[in-house]
Structure 1
């Protein structure tokens, strides 16, 4: 595993400790161009076709319209409905284009925490595979060069686990951002995210998908200031009876 040079700036904001109530978004940062929020699990970013469900997009747009009645949020990346954590929105089309056109350059780190089934095979590692989506929206690994497949790279390290423990708490850092990347790759090595029945999880210890976007570091597209936002790992991820090397898991 190759370790990239860390370029972490002091956190601009950190969400309050604990787990956000269902449907409650925490606003972490706002300027004339950007809004950063802490998304709760169970809240979709945008509504599925034909659905009128409340979305994070609606919440952010309503927030903007308090000061600008014509304002509308712009989605530049997504988290799955049942994934919680830090998410970035653009406030206008100009900023959205700047972010989308330079995403890989501007976004320096995207880190997640997952509670996965079983004990991971080593302390650290890299998941490097090719992913493809079927007609049902399921993502799975395939052979390199398969038509329509995209390469996905995820670096990981164990935060807490114990020999024989039913779960490992794992930190994951994305080098690519594919749909369901973490969920599909972990499932492929036999360690699905707890609560992720869609990708083969057999347990649901927290009554939710145990995946959380805990850190987002990026360069502001116009001011070029490096901004870092963190959200604490939900306490429910630690509620296992098995002690890990860094305390209770």
Structure 2
């Protein structure tokens, strides 16, 4: 499949171009093979998008010939409700026409909430998109808790978000974290496979429970140490699923809550947030299939916990 991406300066609609490779194939079938979702096709039809073959508008029943140039113009997107356009600082690790990879500091929400309606990553990305003249809302691909730092990915368009969602469900998006936990973790390497669900007595807290969603975390020990005579362990974690608070819940279930994670049994005597950082993000580019790999060093607060032991 020959595919190209363009952003037309005159027409601000997000546009993808494809070259047909099968004689007689209906446009609808080709679009499915090119992973254009039914939801996107509905939006194109009713919300101001456009399908053209060799620059002529066509519907999805149009038969294609080899070499036909197909253009898919997606409708302009509007900012999601609840998002506020703000112009705060963003640490950009990577950017192209499709995705934005950021290094998030601790103490900043990924998306706005009732408790923290402003200064979120999403609000700042809205402002950044506005500065670029990009007619899109914010699509978070990999979300981090407010007090977790490190790498996260944002899709610049709903279709790109759809593609990254398919990749995540296929295990093609890999995230690795480092954390500092209370106590000395005995096993050097282990897998935690334990379902996670919402705790009955809380709208925020999660717990391991039989009726929860499947969750799988791999844990390996980097270093066991003492800080002020208290045993701690510096660990690496790889997520195979992406449940809310997954690492925090699994480590607390193991008897080793994250240092600083008061919600799940940690203490903030030495750090004012859970000691958790996304150090690595790997994924195939949603359009080119190029393998992308990004890394982020630990924040200074976690480094100090380790080096001052």
Preserved contact between residue 193 and residue 217 of structure 2 (Cα < 8 Å): yes
The correspondence for 2:114, drawn from 49, 63, 66, is: 49
Q: Which has the higher contact order (CA 8 A, sep 6+)?
A: 1
The correspondence for 1:121, drawn from 171, 177, 186, is: 186
Partner of 1:3: none
Give 1 or 2: higher helix fraction: 2
Shift of 1:49: 3.4
Partner of 1:215: 280
SS of 2:218's equivalent in the other structure is: strand
The correspondence for 2:233, drawn from 147, 168, 187, is: 168
Distance in 2 (CA, whole Å) between partners of 1:34 and 1:74 is 9
The correspondence for 1:93, drawn from 158, 163, 171, is: 158
Shift of 1:165: 5.1
Distance in 2 (CA, whole Å) between partners of 1:196 and 1:24 is 26
Q: Which moved more, 1:103-112 or 1:152-161?
A: 103-112
Distance in 1 (CA, whole Å) between partners of 2:136 and 2:205 is 34
Q: RMSD across aligned C-alpha pairs, in angstroms?
A: 2.1
Q: How many residue pairs are counted as aligned between the two chains?
A: 218
Mapping of residues 1-249 of structure 1, within 5 Å? 24-49=89-114, 51-68=116-133, 70-105=135-170, 107-134=172-199, 135-143=202-210, 146=211, 149-162=212-225, 166-240=231-305, 249=309
Preserved contact between residue 106 and residue 221 of structure 1 (Cα < 8 Å): no
Shift of 1:178: 0.7
Give the direction of change, closer, same or farther, for the CA distance of 1:150–1:73 in structure 2 (3 Å limit).
same
Shift of 1:136: 2.0
Distance in 2 (CA, whole Å) between partners of 1:206 and 1:24 is 23
Distance in 1 (CA, whole Å) between partners of 2:117 and 2:248 is 26
Shift of 1:206: 1.9
Distance in 1 (CA, whole Å) between partners of 2:218 and 2:115 is 36
Shift of 1:141: 0.8
TM-score (norm 1): 0.81
SS of 2:281's equivalent in the other structure is: strand
Give the direction of change, closer, same or farther, for the CA distance of 1:50–1:162 in structure 2 (3 Å limit).
closer
Summarize deviations over 1:142-189 as a string: whole Å, max 9, x none.
13xx2xx11111111111113775211111001111110000010111
| Structure with larger Rg | 2
Preserved contact between residue 206 and residue 236 of structure 1 (Cα < 8 Å): yes
Instruction: Name structure 1 gaps, 5 residues minimum.
Output: 1-22, 242-246
Q: Which moved more, 1:70-79 or 1:54-63?
A: 70-79
TM-score (norm 2): 0.66
Distance in 1 (CA, whole Å) between partners of 2:89 and 2:187 is 36
Shift of 1:77: 2.8
Preserved contact between residue 181 and residue 235 of structure 2 (Cα < 8 Å): yes
